[in-house]
Structure 1
Amino acid sequence: MSIDETNKKASVIILNWNGKGYIIECIDSVEKLDIINLKLDIVVVDNGSTDGSLSEIKNKILNIKNTDQKFKIIESEKNLGFTGGNNVGIKYALENGADYVMLLNSDTFVDKNLLVQLIEVAKSNPEIGIVGPKIYFAKGHEFQKDIYQPKDLGKVIWYAGGVVDWKNVLQSHRGVDEVDKGQYDKTEVTDFVTGCCMLIKKEILEKIGLLDNKYFLYLEDADFCQRAKQNGYKILYAPKAKLWHLNASSSSVGGNLQDYFITRNRLLFGIKYAGLKTKLALFREGIGLLLKGRPWQKTAVKDFFLGKFGKGSYGSKNN
C-alpha cells in the first residue's frame, strides 16, 4: 500500500495502568506497524502503575533496536484516568510535531497495516477529523466464549462503528458479538469512534482541545466525537484497519466503578448534548436512581448535581 504522507508524523499514545501481562504484546505489535513514509513516535504513558508493568516496559524499550521509531515513556505518579493520562500523551505528541495522534488501549494488538489504513481514510477528505478501525475480540476473550465455532475465534466483532441512541442516551458498538462475515466492510460515517483506538488529526485537537477531564473514563470518546461534529468534522469508521482487543483493561474491575462513572457521565453527556425532552427524562431518571438506585449510582447522581467530576467521590473512597 502506498501513502503519500512523506515527512508527516504520527504519534501512537499507549496508556498503561497495571497492564502487566498484556502491555508488552501491545508494544510488540505497534513496533511492527507498517509506516511507509511516515515518521512515528510511540509514546507510553504510565498512569501510576503498581504491578511492575512500568519496569517491564522500560526493559522492553531498552532492547528495541529499531531506530526508525522513537519511543518515549511518560510517568505519572498517580492515576489520571483515561482522559488525563491520554491528554498527557496528546500534549507531548503535539509539542513534538505530530500531524496525527492515535490513541490505543494497552490491552490490544494491532494489524501491521492499521495506521496506514486509518490515515488513508483520514487524508481522503479535509472534513474527516477522527477515524476508527474494526476491532475484534482477541481469541478467548469474547463475552460469550462458548457460542462460537473454533474457526470463528479471532473474527468476533467488538466494534464496527459506534451508535448513539439519543432518546435514551446510550452508546453501543455496532456488530458486537457478531462473527465478521463482511457485513460491516463499508467505510462510512459513524456516531462515535471508541477510545480503544482513535486516530485524530492535529487540527481537530488544535480546534476543540483535549479529552474532557470531567469524564475521567467512560463516554469521553463519545463526547470528544460530538464536539468534533459540532465543529463541522466527520467521524469515520474504516473497516480495513483492524486490531484485536483482549478486553482485559483495568477499568473492567466490577460493578461499582461502572455504576458510578457510567451513571454520572451519562447524565453529563445527555444534559450537554441531548434534546429537551430527553434532558427532562434524564433528570427524572436521576431522581429515581437517587431514591432507589444502587449505592454508587446514588453517589454518582449526587456528584453530578454537585458538579463533582473527574475522579469524583469514587476516587476519594478508592485510593
Structure 2
Amino acid sequence: MTKDLGIVICNFNKVDYLKGCLETLYKSNFENLSYDVIVVDNASTDESVKFVKDNYKEVILLENEINTGGSGGFDRGIRYAQEKEYKYVALLDNDILLEENTIINLLKYIKSNPNVGIVGSKICTMDNQDILQEMGSFIDFDDKFNVKTPLKSHKDDETLPEVVKCDYVPACCLITTNEVLQKVGSFNTDHFIYWDDMDWCTRVKKAGYEVHAINSSRVFHKMGASNHTNTFGVYYFERNRILFYLKYLPDTKVKEFTDSICNWFLNSIFFSSLKGNYATPKSLLFAIDDLFSHNMGRQDNSIFIKEEQINPFEKYNLTIDDKVCLYLTDNMITNRKMYLYLKNFYGDKMSIFYDKKNEKLIKQNFDEGYIISRNEFENRKFDRIFLPLEHILDYNENILSGDNYIYIDQFINVVSYKEMYNLKASYEMHYNMFKNIYQPVIEKKFKKVRNDLLEKDSLC
C-alpha cells in the first residue's frame, strides 16, 4: 500500500545534528498520515550509520559508497521516493530542529493549494531562534545575478507575511508532490552542493507550478561558520552559480551577466590580495576553469586552505579601550554581520547609532548593543566610527566621512577614510587591465558553455 509521505534526510558526518533532527521529527504531529523516514548517508566516517541502525530501526537507511554531496544524496532519496510512489515527499537538512507542526502544516498547505509545486518552511537560526535565516528567496536575473533573501536577519515576529510567493525555498525543509517529481525529475547531481535547490525550483516553476514559503511552518537551522578555513563554499557556490545563469538567462542578459561575474572575479582577486588571501581567487579561477572543462560534481583538487589574513584590528592599531561607534544602515544583513564581527573584539563597549530614516527598521529588528542619541553621537569624541557597506566599492562622496571613519563590508574588507582615495585609484588600474585582457577570453568561454547547455536541453 502506498504511504502518504516519504521524508528524505541527507546526511554526511553530522551525527550530533542528525540526532536532534530525528528526535524532533519523531515528536512531530503527523495526525493520521502514513509515512517513512529515509536517511541517505553520504559515506559518513563518524558514527552516523551506527547511530541510525542502533536507535531508529524503522528508518530506511540508504548508504552511499562515496560522498555524493547534497545533490547526490537528495537525488538518491528522491529516486527512492519515486519508486515507492509516495503521494508527497519532504526534503530535510540533517542540521535542523523541527517544531511539532512543521511537517503537517506544510502538507496541509500544499494539499489545499494545487497550484503550488513546492512549499517550504520559515527558517530561523538555531543559535538565535528569533532571527530569520530565510523565508522565501528570490533569484536576481536583472542586476547582481545572485540570490536575494529579503527577510534574512529580520526578527521572527508578527510583521512577517503569512505566505511568500518566491523563486525558491532551500532543501532545508520543504514538501513537494509525486506529480511534480514525475514531471520535473530529481536534483542535478552536477552541482554536488549549492544551487541545486535553486535549479530544481526553477524547473518546477517552468513546469507551471508556484513555489511558496509559509509562516506557519518553522525549523531552526544550524548555519555554517562564516569564516571557513578553506575555499569549499566559495568554489562550489560560484561554479554552480555561473552554471545556473548560463543555463537559464535570456539571451539579452548574457553580456550583462558576464560583466557582473568578471567584476566579481576582479573584486575577489583585488581585495583578497589586500588581505593576504590568495587561496580564494585561485579557487574561483579553478571553478571557472572546471566549468569550462565540464569537471562537475565533486572536485577536491579545486579546494584550498586559506592563508592567515591580515588582521584589521592590528592594521589600524585598534584596542578594546577605543571609544567606537557602529553606524547602522538600511541593510539588516550587513548590519547584523558587522555588529557580530565587531562585538567579538569590542564586547559590549561599542555604541550603536542610526539615522532617523532607518529608525523603524532598526527598532523592529535590532535590539542589541547600546543605542545612543544623535546628540551623543555628535558630541562624543569617538576614536573610530565604523560604517557598514554592502561592498567597499559602494563608497562615494555622499557617504559620511571623516578621519576617524572606517568602512567595513560583509566580506570583511576594511578600509579607513584616509586610504579610500588611493584604494579606488589602484582598483581602477586593475579594472582596466582585467577588462581589456582577461574578460574577452572569459566571454568567449561563457558563450561556449551556454551553447553546450542549450544544445543538451534541446536533445532532452
TM-score with structure 1 setting the length: 0.84
Letter in 1 for 2:288: V
**Corresponding residue pairs, total:** 291
Corresponding position of 2:188: 212
The answer to whether the Cα contact below 8 Å between 2:87 and 2:178 also exists between their aligned partners in 1 is: yes
What secondary structure does 2:113 align onto? coil
Corresponding position of 1:279: 254
How far apart, CA to CA, are the structure 1 residues paired with 2:301 and 2:190? 13
Letter in 2 for 1:171: V
The answer to whether the Cα contact below 8 Å between 1:48 and 1:77 also exists between their aligned partners in 2 is: yes
More helix by share: 2
Letter in 1 for 2:23: D
Deviations 1:280-308 (A, max 9, x none): 23334555638974011000011112222
How far apart, CA to CA, are the structure 1 residues paired with 2:9 and 2:42? 10
Letter in 1 for 2:7: V
Q: Does 1:102 align with 2:77?
A: no
Larger displacement relative to structure 2 (282-291 or 170-179): 282-291
How far apart, CA to CA, are the structure 2 residues paired with 1:292 and 1:198? 34
What secondary structure does 1:192 align onto? coil
Q: Does 1:230 align with 2:206?
A: yes
**Of residues 37, 40, 43 in structure 2, which corresponds to 1:42?**
37
Pair 1:227–1:115, CA change in 2 (3 A)? same
Deviations 1:22-44 (A, max 9, x none): 11111001111211121110011
Q: Does 1:33 align with 2:28?
A: yes
**Of residues 92, 95, 105 in structure 2, which corresponds to 1:117?**
105
Instruction: Output aligned runs, 1:5-154, within 5 Å.
Output: 9-62=4-57, 70-138=58-126, 141=127, 153-154=128-129
Corresponding position of 1:270: 245
Corresponding position of 2:286: 299
How far apart, CA to CA, are the structure 2 residues paired with 1:12 and 1:120? 15
Corresponding position of 2:174: 198
The answer to whether the Cα contact below 8 Å between 2:15 and 2:47 also exists between their aligned partners in 1 is: yes
Pair 1:81–1:121, CA change in 2 (3 A)? same
CA shift for structure 1 position 117 = 0.5
Deviations 1:244-295 (A, max 9, x none): 112259x995451122111111111111112334322333455563897401
CA shift for structure 1 position 183 = 2.3
Deviations 1:138-180 (A, max 9, x none): 1xx3xxxxxxxxxxx4211111111212122211333211111
Pair 1:194–1:292, CA change in 2 (3 A)? closer
The answer to whether the Cα contact below 8 Å between 1:190 and 1:237 also exists between their aligned partners in 2 is: yes
Larger displacement relative to structure 2 (165-174 or 194-203): 165-174
Letter in 2 for 1:161: G
Q: Does 1:258 align with 2:258?
A: no
Larger displacement relative to structure 2 (92-101 or 223-232): 92-101
Deviations 1:69-123 (A, max 9, x none): x421111111011111111111112212311111100000101111111011111
Pair 1:189–1:304, CA change in 2 (3 A)? same
- State which structure, 1 or 2, has the greater radius of gyration over its C-alpha atoms: 2
The answer to whether the Cα contact below 8 Å between 2:85 and 2:178 also exists between their aligned partners in 1 is: no
Letter in 1 for 2:65: E
What secondary structure does 2:231 align onto? helix
Q: Does 1:310 align with 2:297?
A: yes
The answer to whether the Cα contact below 8 Å between 2:145 and 2:260 also exists between their aligned partners in 1 is: no
The answer to whether the Cα contact below 8 Å between 1:270 and 1:278 also exists between their aligned partners in 2 is: no
How far apart, CA to CA, are the structure 1 residues paired with 2:150 and 2:233? 21
The answer to whether the Cα contact below 8 Å between 2:232 and 2:303 also exists between their aligned partners in 1 is: no
Pair 1:193–1:79, CA change in 2 (3 A)? same
Letter in 2 for 1:50: T
Please list every run of 5 or more consecutive structure 1 residues that lacks an aligned counterpart in the other structure. Answer: 1-6, 63-69, 142-152
How far apart, CA to CA, are the structure 1 residues paired with 2:150 and 2:59? 34
Pair 1:291–1:108, CA change in 2 (3 A)? closer
Pair 1:38–1:248, CA change in 2 (3 A)? same
How far apart, CA to CA, are the structure 1 residues paired with 2:253 and 2:230? 25
Corresponding position of 2:163: 187
TM-score with structure 2 setting the length: 0.59
The answer to whether the Cα contact below 8 Å between 1:260 and 1:314 also exists between their aligned partners in 2 is: no
The answer to whether the Cα contact below 8 Å between 2:105 and 2:216 also exists between their aligned partners in 1 is: yes
Larger displacement relative to structure 2 (29-38 or 181-190): 181-190
The answer to whether the Cα contact below 8 Å between 1:290 and 1:298 also exists between their aligned partners in 2 is: no
What secondary structure does 1:298 align onto? helix
How far apart, CA to CA, are the structure 2 residues paired with 1:229 and 1:258? 27
Pair 1:254–1:118, CA change in 2 (3 A)? farther
What secondary structure does 1:92 align onto? helix
Provide the identity percentage: 29
